[in-house]
Amino acid sequence: MPKTATKAKTSKAQTPVSLNSYLQNEMARLAKMHGVRISVFEEFAHFVIENYKKKEPTISKPKPLSLTQLKAAIYQHFSVKNTTELKKSGAFKMATDGMDTLNLSLKDGWEKLYRKFIGILPGEENQQGYGCINGINIFNYFKPWQVFDLDPQTATNQDIKNAYHRLSKIYHPDIPETGDAAIFDSLTVMYKSISAEA
């Protein structure tokens, strides 16, 4: 009995729905106006009829890392077992010299360390908005190659200079509508950094 019900359901789904004369006339008009075959509109109409009730797929946002996960990544990076060892680590002291004061009693401090030494936090990929260039928030990340949209393996000094000039034409403080001193200063630091590497 269940087999018969399934078969009936399948054959019903495969039976094409006939389009009423209003739709057929409108498709013919659009096909003529745009120089497109009427079959294109017919296919689209059938697609809409079959799918209009389907729910749109939900895109789940990545979960932010917990404080425990952030700490574990930093401990592993500096080859230590806990925060006490981390603070005593010479490698950690050298690596964080010159950074703003870090408050390791707050998650924010651990996120700053993760951004600097590990990589992009989940959910902060392809960011948009103020200070974001090529998906990178330049105030949170020092990723000059990505910001300048260059491959560190193949970019020449001229490529770096061209990328810097392209971005300068947007962010230089003298540009009336898009100029921004803070962004331009960050770009200049990044430019000097990768120019020295190349």
Entry field: residues in the chain? 198
Tell me the C-alpha distance between 198 and 193, whole Å: 9
Phi, psi of 76 (to 5 degrees): -65, -45
Find tokens 């996120």 and name the residue.
Answer: 111
pLDDT per position as a tens digit, 120-168 = 999 888 889 999 999 999 999 999 999 999 998 999 999 999 999 999 9
> pLDDT band at 115, cuts 50/70/90?
very high
Is pLDDT of 194 > 80?
Answer: yes
pTM metric for this prediction: 0.59
What SS3 state is found at 18? coil
Return the higher-pLDDT residue of 42 and 184: 184
For position 14, what pLDDT does the model report? 53
For position 56, what pLDDT does the model report? 79
Tell me the sheet residues that pair with 137. Answer: 132
Return the higher-pLDDT residue of 114 and 33: 114
DSSP E strand stretches across 35-167: 132-133, 136-137
Tell me the C-alpha distance between 187 and 143, whole Å: 10
Tell me the sheet residues that pair with 132. Answer: 137
Answer yes or no: are the C-beta atoms of 111 and 71 closer than 8 Å.
no
Tell me the C-alpha distance between 161 and 192, whole Å: 10
Architecture of domain 132-197: Orthogonal Bundle (1.10)
Query: Among candidates 159, 160, 187, which has minimal Cα distance to 171?
Result: 187
> pLDDT band at 85, cuts 50/70/90?
very high
For position 1, what pLDDT does the model report? 45
User: Would you list the DSSP string of 128-143?
Assistant: -STTEETTEETTT---
Answer yes or no: are the C-beta atoms of 109 and 83 closer than 8 Å.
no
C-alpha distances out from residue 186 to 117, 158, 183, Å: 18, 20, 5
Phi, psi of 137 (to 5 degrees): -80, 105
Q: CATH 1.10.287.110 in the chain: give the residue spans.
A: 132-197
Tokens of 188: 């200049």
